A and B are shown apart, each in its own frame.
Chain A
Amino acid sequence: MGSYLLRRLLIAIPSLLGISVVLFTVLALAPGDPFGELATNPNVPPEVQAQLRKNFGLDDPVFVRYARWLLAMLQGDWGYSFVSRVNVDTLILQRLPTTLLVIGSSQILSLLVALPVGIYAATRPYSIFDQIANTLAFVGFSLPTFFTGLLFILVFSIWLGWLPFVYRADIAATGWEYYWLHLKQLIMPVTVLGLFQAALLVRYVRSSVLDVIRLDYVTTARSKGLAERVVILKHVVRNALIPVVTLVALQLPAVFGGAIVTEQIFRVPGIGSLLISAMLANDTPVIMGVTFVSACLVVLFNLIADILYGWLDPRITYR
């Protein structure tokens, strides 16, 4: 297990470096100047601009710039937001907990929906339930999150008036009421994101369970006279869910995409809406910071999934 862990960690480093190269290349190839905002500002004279360029080393060779940029990124020195005049890392750290809360709860919701439905459908393949679940899954991942979000707002906020459609960070209440209001405004974003993920997961859970349920050891378990419930939950599901762990991690890039959209619709103050508002305001350092953070998070979760996989399925650690 120790050497497996070490090997996984060593694989994660080149992929992080690779992602940083991709990001830097995009930035370096981009037309225009990171200091474009200063250049258009008539209050900044040209000689000051040249001095700034020299200070920030913008005229150095590309390798030097990459090394310096990477070092700065790794040290958490992500620059300075042009718009809100705050350090980018402070800004992102302020927003990150909200995003992680939304993504985390929606992942839990999606597992709570996808696991029972997928397992039940796999134990009765091609039954009515299976066909309905399959069709609903198709509907679920064909509905783009922005449209589901608008539909939810239309039904639950405008027609029924049950839920607030704007997320507020500053709720003026204390005690239980505070938590209740907080929960209430989380319901719609988490449901939109969670159901989308669940629709993607259901089919994988089903096919993974179907692969295992045909194996001989399951027949053995049945012929020993174990109850069907025990056979499914203790013998089949335990093995069938191992690939699902990897899948949950591999879908995280898609989850981040979904989170950006959902945060934008419900005005959740997370890093996704930070990214969009930074883009609309031409705030390059913030945009780079958010992209870098989400890439790092994806690599991190892939690493966690690999480690979990090794722990759940010891066979692969000996390979």
Chain B
Amino acid sequence: MAGSTHASPTVEAGAPAPLREPVFSPWREAWRRFKRHRMAVVSMVMLAVMILAILAGPYLWNVPIDEIDFTARLARPSWEHPFGTDDLGQDLLARMLYGGRISLAVGLAAMTVAVFVGILIGAIAGMSRGWVDGFLMWLTDLFLSLPALPLLLLMIYLFRDKLKAVLGPEGGVFVLIVIIIGGLRWMQVARLVRAQFLSLREKEFVEAARALGASRMRQVVRHILPNALGPVIVAGTIDVAVAIILESTLSFLGLGFPPDIPTWGRLLFDAKDHLDIAPHWALFPGAAIFLAVLTINFIGDGLRDALDPRKVM
């Protein structure tokens, strides 16, 4: 067989490639794959509508969220109050539009924290060998086996009052929830990033960069990290959904935002004692949480098809 091996692979390349072959950028290729996932596209439209409603809604539907009207207590949905009212006669549509901003903001902010911490730890573990890598992965496994919700509740319980005093009732709880959810959700991202780094750092293009004298930092930021981002984006999308559920859970248990801030979970918490006479009060916010989480999960699934063709679980 030795005789058939050419010194250079180009010898066998044959006819030159056609000159005007359409060149697709990786992003365009990803978009093409994303479009094939029908539910993901539908979800993206629905989520966009929801976000638009949350952002623009309060300007169009300018009923104050805390206008108490005892003549319209627990009113069913009508033209005056499309989503009905609560036990103080406050308009539920206005309250939900306001609460949606908080729920989505918590989701996005917590995802940012989780992805940042995950990339940092995963990158350090992936670039270093020996005991640093071993210790960081042990830490990751440890955090994975922590019972997230009890710990989350414990930390909120212990730190709530302190942060409220520093940042005000709304800001304090927001910062606390975001940091804790982010701090308990980075493990998946860290594992993905480390696995990607382990294979990417041995690739030829990184070796070439190293041979050209690129510093370690430059290798990571310019060459390895951009190629490792696909699975991270997918995991980050799912994290938004998880964070929204966690925040709603906290509010639903009465341990999240203060009572006068109508997040979706808080609305459900208030509604659960009036389930028999005012089911609409619970159904609308519940459906909103469900739709937000469902659409984000579907978009994550579509992004997995688009950005992560090897389907890393």
Chain B proximity mask over A264-293: 1 for CB below 8 Å, otherwise 0: 110000000001100110000001101100
Select the stretch in B47-55, B92-100, B113-121, B146-154 that faces chain A: B146-154
Q: Is B82 interfacial (CB 8 A cutoff)?
A: no
A31 touches B145 (CB 8 A): no
Q: Is B282 interfacial (CB 8 A cutoff)?
A: yes
Contacts of A164 in B (CB 8 A): none
A18 touches B142 (CB 8 A): yes
**Which among B147, B249, B255 is the interface contact of A295 at CB below 8 angstroms?**
B147
Q: In chain A between 46 and 74, which residues have their CB closer than 8 angstroms to a CB of chain B?
A: none
Q: Is B234 interfacial (CB 8 A cutoff)?
A: no
Q: Is B21 interfacial (CB 8 A cutoff)?
A: no
Residues of B contacting A: mostly: helix
B282 touches A144 (CB 8 A): no
Kindly report which residue of chain A lies nearest to residue B286, judged by CB atoms: A147
Kindly report which residue of chain A lies nearest to residue B275, judged by CB atoms: A154
Q: Is A13 interfacial (CB 8 A cutoff)?
A: no
B275 touches A153 (CB 8 A): yes
Q: Is A167 interfacial (CB 8 A cutoff)?
A: no
Min CB–CB distance B10 → chain A (angstroms): 36
Kindly report which residue of chain B lies nearest to residue A258, judged by CB atoms: B149
**Known contacts A15-B142, A154-B282; is A147 also within 8 Å of B161 by CB?**
no
Docked complex Cα distance between A154 and B287 (Å): 14
A138 touches B144 (CB 8 A): no
Kindly report which residue of chain A lies nearest to residue B159, judged by CB atoms: A30
Contacts of A275 in B (CB 8 A): 150, 153
B298 touches A256 (CB 8 A): no
Q: Is B305 interfacial (CB 8 A cutoff)?
A: no
Docked complex Cα distance between A107 and B268 (Å): 26
Kindly report which residue of chain A lies nearest to residue B241, judged by CB atoms: A142
Kindly report which residue of chain A lies nearest to residue B277, judged by CB atoms: A158
Contacts of A123 in B (CB 8 A): none
B142 touches A147 (CB 8 A): no
Select the stretch in B124-132, B192-200, B215-223, B289-297 that faces chain A: B289-297
Kindly report which residue of chain A lies nearest to residue B295, judged by CB atoms: A142
Q: Is B162 interfacial (CB 8 A cutoff)?
A: yes
Select the stretch in A19-27, A168-176, A221-229, A234-242 that faces chain B: A19-27
**Which among A204, A250, A279, A294 is the interface contact of B147 at CB below 8 angstroms?**
A294
**Which among B141, B161, B282, B286 is the interface contact of A32 at CB below 8 angstroms?**
B161
B297 touches A142 (CB 8 A): yes
Min CB–CB distance B164 → chain A (angstroms): 11
Q: Interface size bucket, B side?
A: 35 or more
Q: Is A119 interfacial (CB 8 A cutoff)?
A: no
Min CB–CB distance B58 → chain A (angstroms): 24
Contacts of A147 in B (CB 8 A): 268, 282, 286, 289-290
Docked complex Cα distance between A141 and B244 (Å): 13
Contacts of A253 in B (CB 8 A): 144-148
Contacts of B154 in A (CB 8 A): 23, 26, 287-288, 291
Docked complex Cα distance between A22 and B154 (Å): 12
Q: Is A150 interfacial (CB 8 A cutoff)?
A: yes
Q: Is A143 interfacial (CB 8 A cutoff)?
A: yes
Kindly report which residue of chain B lies nearest to residue A250, judged by CB atoms: B144
**Which among A14, A18, A279 is the interface contact of B153 at CB below 8 angstroms?**
A279
Kindly report which residue of chain B lies nearest to residue A158, judged by CB atoms: B276
Min CB–CB distance A193 → chain B (angstroms): 13
Q: Is B138 interfacial (CB 8 A cutoff)?
A: yes
Docked complex Cα distance between A33 and B248 (Å): 29
Q: Is A135 interfacial (CB 8 A cutoff)?
A: yes
Docked complex Cα distance between A291 and B289 (Å): 27
Min CB–CB distance B127 → chain A (angstroms): 23
B145 touches A146 (CB 8 A): no
B161 touches A150 (CB 8 A): no
Min CB–CB distance A179 → chain B (angstroms): 28
Contacts of A98 in B (CB 8 A): none
**Known contacts A31-B159, A150-B272, A154-B282; is A256 also within 8 Å of B145 by CB?**
no
Contacts of A39 in B (CB 8 A): none
Chain A proximity mask over B17-56: 1 for CB below 8 Å, otherwise 0: 0000000000000000000000100000000000000000
B252 touches A279 (CB 8 A): no
Chain A proximity mask over B263-299: 1 for CB below 8 Å, otherwise 0: 0010010011001100100100010011001100110
Contacts of A254 in B (CB 8 A): 148
Q: In chain A between 124 and 168, which residues have their CB closer than 8 angstroms to a CB of chain B?
A: 135, 138-139, 141-144, 146-147, 150-151, 153-154, 158
Contacts of A104 in B (CB 8 A): none
| Complex A-B, nearest 6 residue pairs according to Cβ-Cβ distance, in ascending order | A257-B149, A30-B158, A142-B294, A147-B286, A31-B162, A142-B293
Q: A142-B293, A150-B272, A264-B253 are in contact. List 16 more A-B contacts (CB 8 A).
A: A18-B138, A26-B151, A30-B159, A31-B158, A138-B298, A142-B290, A146-B249, A147-B282, A147-B289, A153-B275, A154-B275, A158-B276, A257-B150, A265-B272, A276-B255, A288-B154
